[in-house]
């Protein structure tokens, strides 16, 4: 049965926490680089926004396909070994992407990349939550997502510096995945293997255990990946240069770097659920203001705040997950999060892409507002049910 995680008395495992954070940071760099890179290259090949969005959905589809197997594979071979194998596989797949330079072949490769990176997502979060003392979980997870945000911000910034032509951007992404392998080899002995935890919890149980957290994960993914994939398309409709849009993406993701730690500290003092609702509300309001501010300097601070609160939704969901679950239930919960992240990633970019084609560039902010408003409504409903003992 699922039980709350106890307060540990052991010293803070700084080395293990730092190693996991370093691993996921360079992994995030590769991911943050790949999404806008694919978009720019597919635009150059003349593909329409809807098709670009469908291509972006292939990675989360791969995440959905592989997530149910992550708990079992973790128990069979151990977390560190599984993560190392996945990082090597991802580097090979990214090499094939650069070698083929074919937008149609990228559909399959992006699916396989999703299959490969899913265990890296799940295990890095499980390790961070497991290693973090409950009393300090908010700040540690806030710092973790902030540093991950730095990795994502480094992706578009890398494109801004090296461009999208040739092997340079692909080489950086491949090197980032291989650096993950090196770090995991060093810190592997310090990490929980999960080999001795056999009390499996089915992923479907989390539909009843934590429905609002699962919806929050889907909305955060749809919000983030729609923007990463289609903000360049949105900006192009206003005549904004690709280099400027890459810089705006960097600013948006950089909101995580500055504001996730304060959000985590606040979550240690008030309910992470209420803070999740606040983040969704602010994100909806910010998206609604995009059409008014996209051609003004105010778009820079607006995207900075929206980037922080949009990803803050996921940070709050992680904190509450760690507060409520432990052991194999935590692995299953993170795997369920991965499924919902994939669902959001599949629904978000194609939905926003079709909305842009059907209604013009304002389709993107309309979809962003609708997603966040729906989350606010459902989370408030679930909070009311929980307080009534339902």
Highest-pLDDT range among 77-91, 181-195, 327-341:
77-91
Checking if the pLDDT of 198 tops 60, the result is no
Least confident of 9-23, 242-256, 266-280: 9-23
Mean pLDDT for 354-369 is 90
**Per-residue tokens: 205:** 């149980």
Checking if the pLDDT of 66 tops 50, the result is yes
Q: What residues contact 381, with CB distance under 8 A and at least 6 apart?
A: none
CA dihedral 337, 342, 348, 350 (to 10 degrees): -170
Checking if the pLDDT of 214 tops 80, the result is yes
Q: What is the pLDDT of residue 201?
A: 65
Least confident of 101-105, 171-175, 176-180, 356-360: 101-105
Checking if the pLDDT of 220 tops 70, the result is yes
Highest-pLDDT range among 106-120, 177-191, 245-259, 302-316:
302-316
Residues 272/138, Cβ–Cβ less than 8 Å: yes
Mean pLDDT for 272-294 is 93
**Per-residue tokens: 102:** 């074919």
Between 249 and 214, where is the model more confident? 214
Mean pLDDT for 22-31 is 77
Q: What is the pLDDT of residue 389?
A: 65
Instruction: State in words which class domain 14-387 has.
Output: mainly alpha
Mean of per-residue pLDDT scores for the chain: 83
Mean pLDDT for 225-246 is 84
Mean pLDDT for 284-289 is 94
Q: What is the pLDDT of residue 7?
A: 43
Q: What is the pLDDT of residue 376?
A: 96
Mean pLDDT for 291-313 is 92
Instruction: Tell the residue number behind the tokens 């504001």, with chain if given.
Output: 259
Checking if the pLDDT of 151 tops 80, the result is no
Residues 233/246, Cβ–Cβ less than 8 Å: no
Checking if the pLDDT of 113 tops 90, the result is no
> How confident is residue 5, by pLDDT bands cut at 50, 70 and 90?
very low
- Percent of the chain residues past pLDDT 70, beyond the cut: 93
Checking if the pLDDT of 15 tops 80, the result is no
CA 103 to each of CA 44, 174, 376: distance values in angstroms, whole numbers, following the listed order: 10, 19, 37
Mean pLDDT for 37-62 is 79
Q: What is the pLDDT of residue 380?
A: 92
Checking if the pLDDT of 3 tops 50, the result is no
Kind and range of the H or E run holding 104: none
* CA dihedral (190, 147, 263, 159) positive or negative: negative
Task: Please state the separation of Cα 46 from the chain's center in Å.
Answer: 28
Checking if the pLDDT of 256 tops 80, the result is no
Checking if the pLDDT of 50 tops 70, the result is yes
Residues 218/344, Cβ–Cβ less than 8 Å: yes
% helix, strand, coil for the chain, step of 5: 85, 0, 15
Residues 88/181, Cβ–Cβ less than 8 Å: yes
Dist CA 77 CA 69 (whole Å): 12
**Per-residue tokens: 104:** 């149609």
Q: What is the pLDDT of residue 197?
A: 52
Dist CA 265 CA 312 (whole Å): 12
Q: What is the pLDDT of residue 8?
A: 46
């Amino acid at each position: 049965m699922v039980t709350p995680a106890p307060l540990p008395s052991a010293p803070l495992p700084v080395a293990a926490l730092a190693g996991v954070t370093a691993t996921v940071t360079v992994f995030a760099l590769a991911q943050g680089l790949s999404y806008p890179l694919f978009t720019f290259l597919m635009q150059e090949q003349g593909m329409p926004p809807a098709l670009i969005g469908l291509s972006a959905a292939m990675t989360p589809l791969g995440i959905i396909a592989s997530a149910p197997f992550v708990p079992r594979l973790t128990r069979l071979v151990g977390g560190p070994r599984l993560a190392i194998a996945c990082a090597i596989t991802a580097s090979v797949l990214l090499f094939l992407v650069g070698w083929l330079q074919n937008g149609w072949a990228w559909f399959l490769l992006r699916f396989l990349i999703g299959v490969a990176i899913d265990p890296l997502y799940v295990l890095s979060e499980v390790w961070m939550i497991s290693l973090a003392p409950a009393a300090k979980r908010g700040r540690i997870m806030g710092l973790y997502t902030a540093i991950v945000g730095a990795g994502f911000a480094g992706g578009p910034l890398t494109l801004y510096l090296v461009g999208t032509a040739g092997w340079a951007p692909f080489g950086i992404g491949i090197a980032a995945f291989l650096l993950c392998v090196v770090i995991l080899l060093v810190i592997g002995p310090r990490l929980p293997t999960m080999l001795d935890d056999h009390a499996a919890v089915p992923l479907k149980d989390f539909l009843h255990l934590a429905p609002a957290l699962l919806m929050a994960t889907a909305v955060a993914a749809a919000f983030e990946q729609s923007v990463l994939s289609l903000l360049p398309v949105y900006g192009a409709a206003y005549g904004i240069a690709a280099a400027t849009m890459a810089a705006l993406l960097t600013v948006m993701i950089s909101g995580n770097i500055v504001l996730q730690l304060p959000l985590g500290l606040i979550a240690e003092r008030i309910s992470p659920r209420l803070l999740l609702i606040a983040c969704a509300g602010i994100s909806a309001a910010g998206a609604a203001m995009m059409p008014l501010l996209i051609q003004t300097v105010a778009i820079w601070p607006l995207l900075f705040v929206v980037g922080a609160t949009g990803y803050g939704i996921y940070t709050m969901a992680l904190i509450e997950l760690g507060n409520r679950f432990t052991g194999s239930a935590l692995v299953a919960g993170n795997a369920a999060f991965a499924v919902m992240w994939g669902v959001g990633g599949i629904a978000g970019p194609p939905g926003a892409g079709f909305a842009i084609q059907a209604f013009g560039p304002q389709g993107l902010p309309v979809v962003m507002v609708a997603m966040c408003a729906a989350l606010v409504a459902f989370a408030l409903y679930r909070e009311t049910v929980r307080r009534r003992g339902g």
